[in-house]
Amino acid sequence: MLLHIDSSADPVADSVSRRLTRRFVTAWRAVHDGTAVCRHRDLAADPVPPLTAAYTALGRRVEREGLVHPEKVPALLDGPAERREWELTLPLIEELCSAHTVLLGVPMYNFSVPAALKAWIDRVTFPGAFTDPDTGQSVLRATRVVLVMARGGAYGPGTPRASFDFQTPYLKAYFGNLGVAPERLHVVAAELTRADVLPHLAGLEERAARSLDRARAQVTALAAAE
C-alpha cells in the first residue's frame, strides 16, 4: 500500500509539493497497473486534532507497562476522554504500519514543517506503537519513506541559508528514530519555488526551474522503484 500524505495549506494549483506528490502517485499507479492500494490523507482538508491531557495520560500509562502492542491498549484506557483519544490515534497508526511506501508532501513553513504535519506526527507517535514486542525491532524497518519538500528560497548545501533548514534534518531524525532504515528514506527538494513572485529572488528563475525539473525527475524515478 502507498500512504500519500499532503500537508500544504495551498490547493494543488498553488502548491509545488502537492503537484510533485501527485506526479509520484500517477507514476506509481502506472507501474502497479492498478493492482495496489493508494490511500490519501490530506492534513489540511482533514486536520489531525492536537493532543490533549487524556492522550498524554494514556501514553504515560502505556510507557509504564513497557512495550504494549496497540491491540492491548484498550485494556489500559481510563474513561471516555482517553477512549476518544485512542479512537483518533489508532487509525493513523494502522495506516502507517500497513504502508509499504509513505509519500509525504512537505512545504517549508518558517524553516520547518507545517503545523498540520506536526499534529499528525505528535499523534501517530504513540509509545510502543512501532516496536515489535517479541523482537524489539521496529515494524517500520522495511517501510520506504519518500519526503517531497518545497522551499520558497534556497536552503540546500552550500547556500547562505543552509543552516536555516530545520525541515530536512527534523524529518530524517524523526523517521530514523521510528526505525526506518536510512537506505529506505528518500529526500526530494524543490527550491526557490517563490522566485517568480518575491523581489529579492529576482534573477533566480532559471535556477528555480532547474531545481523543479530535478525534483520532477526524482519523484518519477522513485515511483518506479521498490
Tell me whether residue 55 is annotated as binding: no
Tell me whether residue 8 is annotated as binding: no
Lookup: cell for 209: 526551474
DSSP bridge pairs for 131: 138
Tell me whether residue 98 is annotated as binding: no
In angstroms, the Cα distances linking 109 to 42, 112, 153, 167, 218 are 17, 5, 11, 9, 22
Tell me whether residue 112 is annotated as binding: no
Tell me whether residue 177 is annotated as binding: no
Question: Which residues does 93 contact at the CB level (< 8 Å), separation at least 6?
Answer: 70, 124, 126, 129, 130
147 phi/psi in degrees, rounded to 5: -95, 115
Separation CA 107–CA 189 (nearest Å): 9
Tell me whether residue 1 is annotated as binding: no
Binding residues are: 15-17, 108-111
Binding residues for FMN are: 15-17, 108-111
